[in-house]
């Protein structure tokens, strides 16, 4: 029919994501996006629309990747559910610790910068949090059935608490809290979850 696209859309989204991630929405220039993706501005506008539309694509892509990864890590049989929960909490703490440039999480950054004025960002963020809490709830419920956590507690409430701690770890990491502090919080959070 016509000339096909010469770029890989996913690669362009990743490059654009890194720009927005590093500089924020307002701090990212369209020229930077063009340079980072290797596309001319004409191609960029033709393929994705304007800066805002591209940001939404990137943000949605990031949220989906992020929450899907969590889902995969948390789902599984009941008898290893508690282990998976522990691993997940530790993994988040380690990723915060490992992030020495304090790049943080694009979801946290994007929500902080844009959710107030951008309904699409707010909506996508809300869905991501809901998904995360659902995956945590399922995992915790599994651990309760397996007898590794007290069955008396509402799993959704515990999941909310864990989610808040994990989001808090991310925020504290941004704030430069030391590795030992981050790890201690993760340990303490796991320790206070009610056991049978």
Partner DNA sequence: CAAGTTCTTGACTATCTCGTCCAGAACGTA
Partner DNA sequence: TACGTTCTGGACGAGATAGTCAAGAACTTG
Cα-Cα-Cα-Cα torsion 91, 95, 98, 104, nearest 10 degrees, comes to -170
Report the 10 Å Cβ neighbour count for 123: 11
What residues between 12 and 51 interact with DNA by CB under 7 A? 28-31, 38-43, 45-47, 50-51
Q: Is 98 in the site for a second copy (CB under 8 A)?
A: no
Q: Is 171 in the site for a second copy (CB under 8 A)?
A: yes
User: Which of a second copy, DNA, none interacts with 120 (beta carbon under 5 to 8 A by kind)?
Assistant: none
Most distant CA pair in the chain: distance in Å? Answer: 66
Q: Is 147 in the site for DNA (CB under 7 A)?
A: no
Q: To the nearest whole angstrom, how small is the minimum distance from the Cβ of residue 44 to DNA? A: 7
User: Which of DNA, a second copy, none interacts with 172 (beta carbon under 5 to 8 A by kind)?
Assistant: a second copy
3-state helix, strand, coil in the chain (%, to 5): 75, 0, 25
d(CA 75, CA 109): 27
Q: Which residues bind DNA (CB under 7 A)?
A: 1-7, 28-31, 38-43, 45-47, 50-52
């Amino acid at each position: 029919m016509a000339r096909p696209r010469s770029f890989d859309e996913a690669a362009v989204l990743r490059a654009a994501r890194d720009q927005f991630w590093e500089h924020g929405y307002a701090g990212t220039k369209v020229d930077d996006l063009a340079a980072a993706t290797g596309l001319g501005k004409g191609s960029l506008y033709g393929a994705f629309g304007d800066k805002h539309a591209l940001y939404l694509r990137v943000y949605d892509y990031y949220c989906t990747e992020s929450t899907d990864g969590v889902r995969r890590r948390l789902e599984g049989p009941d008898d290893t559910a508690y282990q998976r929960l522990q691993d997940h909490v530790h993994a988040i703490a380690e990723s915060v610790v490992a992030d020495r440039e304090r790049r943080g999480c694009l979801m946290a950054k994007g929500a902080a910068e844009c959710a107030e004025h951008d309904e699409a960002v707010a909506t996508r963020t809300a869905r991501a949090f809901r998904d995360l809490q659902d995956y945590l709830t399922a995992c915790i419920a599994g651990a309760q059935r397996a007898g590794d956590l007290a069955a008396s507690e509402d799993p959704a409430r515990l999941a909310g608490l864990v989610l808040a701690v994990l989001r808090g770890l991310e925020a504290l990491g941004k704030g430069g809290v030391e590795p030992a502090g981050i790890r201690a919080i993760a340990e303490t959070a796991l320790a206070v979850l009610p056991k049978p």
